[in-house]
Amino acid sequence: MNRSIKLIVALSWLILPLVGHAQTDSTRRNRSYERFKEQAFEEYYQFRQDAFNEFEQFLSAAWTEYQSFAGLPGAYPSKKPVSMPSLPAQSGIIDVDAPHNTMENIREEEIDQKNDAFMPSQSDRVAINFYGRPLTFNVPRGLRITANGNKERHVATYHETMRKNDTIRLFHAQLNAAVSNMGLNEWGYFVLLRNISEELFTNANDRVLFSFYMLHHHGFKARVGRGSKSGQLLLLLALDNSKEVYSKTFFRINGTKFYVVYGNGTKGEGVYSYDEKADDSGLKEIGLDFHKPLHIADCDKQRKLHLNKANIDISLPYSTAHLRYYDEIPTTVFPIYFKTPVPKETEQVLEQTFGELGKRYNKVQLVDIMLNFVQTAFAYKIDEQQFGREKYFFPEEVIGRPFSDCEDRSALFGWLVKRFVGYDVVGVLYDDHLATAVGFGEEVKLTGKSFMMKGKRYFICDPTYANAPIGTVMPKLANTKYEIIKIY
């Protein structure tokens, strides 16, 4: 399409704000501007129609078959061990001179985006259950159309009918508000649409088409395809191609990985989709990163945990709704898990706990307490035993689930250190294990296993090697090669 879609997305969201700004000019210039505006809108409208007509021609032409590729099972070349070694419990906290913790507690302010958009009277209130949270959306009736089939011409006709509806932006505004208020990542935008489509339509193909059109119209790289064996329509999404996404079937189209995320297809089948010349380079890939704390629902559970080295108990709240949401997010690269915050209720408890401890202990001693806490407060079990598949945990999941393994604890420990102490943390990836390393700075004199990176010394901290001090490596890994995973 040669950038047509990119221009449509940009112009459709930018013209109106520019109009409002220009109308603040003088009266004399307003008249000239009104003529310009009418001409610009006429030209833009024609361009928009031409671009959509071109896209619908691609949809209606015979689709090309693309072969599927199986996603990698995970980041580890070898299977993780079913048990981990431990050292005898050590009394006392590390004795070392280090700066005291003066890091300011900075929280991201939550932006409350209210949906004040006027909804037309010809709309239906559609209620969904979003991981236990009831939500209601006003869906314009003009968007509740169905396709007459799943062939190319049917998809093209569906797209043409949908694009003639001028209420779609009002519906998008509701979705944007819900995503913002609940702290969802961009994956959550798709999940909302999927859940709404399942309330609107009974036919799986109609659900796929609705989700596809809404995502594509909103500027995301979404494609619709037809399973080569099942004949069912499938929704394909480009999930942040700068990061690996594991264990999910994908297709390469225009050099971009598109993953099957929705539809009643057959596992591993190929897909027919429209020609690669239907350029989508101006559209955005779906991100899996979180930029604010998740808040689908309030925390409804608590877990009592013990900090051995500080000899105190804490009760950490977590949300079962969040655990269900996390469970559906495609497994991806380690940095996302390290950087995702816990709920604000949980953070407040941790902030109070480590804030009080920070009055008695220096920064390295706080890291020592945190490391031993993560090593000893949680029971170990590999993902295959717990879920039958590889699954990486976000920090809240470590708190809320009965078992965890190496990358899960590394993510929680890394987040704790970065958030409440301020030291830089990296991942240390072995063939079958993930540990961390903390950059304490040259003013801190420590012993043990360490390495230099960009002028800073990092000491190994293994959150799964129970009771292992800072700088200690598991014996079997002492002379093993590893990869450094940068987090921030």
The tens digit of pLDDT for each residue in 442-481 reads 889 999 999 999 999 999 999 999 999 999 999 999 999 9
pLDDT digits (tens, 9 = 90+) for 254-302: 889 999 999 999 988 999 999 877 767 788 999 999 999 999 999 999 9
pLDDT-wise least confident of 14-23, 115-124, 205-214, 311-320: 14-23
Q: Over 90: is that where the pLDDT of 48 sits? A: no
Residue 225: the pLDDT is 96
The CA distance from 461 to 449, in Å, is 9
Read off the pLDDT of each residue in 167-177 and give the average, rounded to a whole number.
Answer: 90
Using an 8 Å Cβ cutoff, are 415 and 434 in contact? no
Q: Do the beta carbons of residue 183 and residue 293 sit within 8 Å?
A: yes
Most confident of 13-17, 82-86, 104-108: 82-86
CA-closest candidate to residue 163, choices 1, 54, 282? 54
Q: Which pTM value belongs to this model? A: 0.87
Output 118 or 366, whichever has higher pLDDT: 366
* pLDDT for residue 241 is more than 50: yes
Taking residues 400-427, what's their average pLDDT? 98
Q: Give the residue carrying structure tokens 């407060």.
A: 377
Q: What is the pLDDT of residue 223?
A: 95
Percent of the residues in the chain that have a pLDDT greater than 90, as a whole number: 76
**Which one has a higher pLDDT value, 105 or 57?**
57
Q: Identify which of 384, 373, 333, 270 has the alpha carbon closest to the alpha carbon of residue 487.
A: 333
pLDDT for position 50:
62
Mean pLDDT across the chain, nearest whole number?
A: 88
Are residues 191 and 328 in contact, defined by beta-carbon separation less than 8 angstroms?
yes
Count of CB atoms situated within 10 Å of the CB of 421: 22
Query: For the domain with range 301-485, which CATH number is right: 1.10.730, 3.40.50, 3.20.20, 3.10.620?
Result: 3.10.620
